[in-house]
Amino acid sequence: MAYNLEQIADYVDGDVVGDPAYIIEKLGTLEHADAQALSFLANPKYQSQLTTTKAGAVLVRDSNICKTLNNVVVVDNPYLAFAKLTHLFDNRPKAETGIHKTVSIGKNVTLGENLKIAPNVVIEDDATLGDNLEIGANTVIGARVKIGANTRISANVSIYYDVEIGESCLLHSGCVIGADGFGFAPSSEGWVKIMQLAAVTLGNRVEVGANTTIDRGALENTKIGHGVILDNQVQIAHNVIIGDNSAIAGCSAVAGSTHIGERCTISGGVGIIGHLTITDDVHVTAMSLVSKSIHKAGSYSSGTGLDTTDKWRKSAARLRRIDDMAKQIANLEHKLK
């Protein structure tokens, strides 16, 4: 794969300052790129690397910041332009069109056109597969599942019965869509399982990371909106609703029946308890615990920052005394009045 700078600039709506015919063969970081690579400057803290980079060209917002470079492509948003260009240089092996002879197909299955289905895939009864799907080896697609066109499913994915997946989605290896939600009623003889009678729906352009799990609903579907991105090892419990274009980073968990709005960003390791409502445009920082609903857009955090162990222990000891200290302060205020 090789493109000249004029082609690259046209692809990202940019302008070449330098040689439009200069050939680019790959992408790279400012620190490690060579003369055949295109790099980008998105974060100002890396600006000093412009004077030392060996990149053949760099995506920048302003050509005036890089007088030492022979070639730049000026764009409004270098990071977005870089993201788009990764599609041009995508080196993922291309699957062959066709259905492998080892694929097991149940009764009354509807198959779209131009399918790429790898070995040992299982497609159960009454499933509906749209056009241009790519399904990796050993994936299981349950009964009555519906999958929209142009979706790619990696190897070893498990999709339970009645799940609906939209168009242009991407499901990574090991993810599980539609397993039972964690619902049990206590009794004198132990736990009584609550059968999960609903399913999961994924909108269009949803990406689900490796080993992420999305549980089916008890009485109403778990719903993932259009354009949602879920990182690896995320847990979405039953009856959760996630609004369009929200993002959840790795190792976060959302408990049952919580509703997350549109364009929310949940950082890594966040825990969100059940039956909450989080409004649109909320950002939750890493390792926070969300224990109450959030009704106003903005950034939210919880927990204490990292410190040396001895200082942390002192702070923890003081935290245990906060209730007593509050009472003492109240008594002092009363006496002063």
Look up residue 218 and give its two tokens.
């008890």
Of residues 155 and 326, the one with the higher pLDDT is 155
- pLDDT 10s digits, 200-238: 999 999 999 999 999 999 999 999 999 999 999 999 999
Q: Is 269 helix (H, G, I), strand (E, B) or coil?
A: coil
Contacts of 250 (CB under 8 A, 6+ apart): 209, 231, 232, 233, 234, 268, 269
pLDDT at 43: 85
* Rounded Cα distance, 314 and 328, in Å: 20
Mean pLDDT, rounded, for 168-185: 97
Does the pLDDT value for residue 66 go beyond 80? no
Q: In the structure, what pLDDT confidence band is assigned to residue 320 with cuts at 50, 70 and 90?
A: confident
Q: In the structure, what pLDDT confidence band is assigned to residue 54 with cuts at 50, 70 and 90?
A: very high
CATH class of 98-300: mainly beta
Contact call for residues 28 and 38 (beta carbons, < 8 A) = yes
* Rounded Cα distance, 337 and 320, in Å: 28
Does the pLDDT value for residue 327 go beyond 90? no
Among 45-59, 128-142, 318-332, the least confident range: 318-332
CB atoms within 10 A of CB 306: 7
Residue extents of the structural domains in the chain: 3-88, 98-300, 307-337
Q: Which residues are catalytic?
A: 238
Displacement of CA 51 from its chain's centroid (Å):
34
Please state, in angstroms and as integers, the Cα–Cα distance from residue 110 to each residue in 71, 129, 229, 324, following that order: 52, 6, 28, 67
CATH assignment of 3-88, given 3.20.20.140, 1.20.58.1610, 3.40.1390.10, 2.60.40.10? 3.40.1390.10
Of residues 67 and 173, the one with the higher pLDDT is 173
Q: In the structure, what pLDDT confidence band is assigned to residue 44 with cuts at 50, 70 and 90?
A: confident
Contacts of 258 (CB under 8 A, 6+ apart): 237, 240, 241, 272, 273, 274, 275, 276, 277, 278
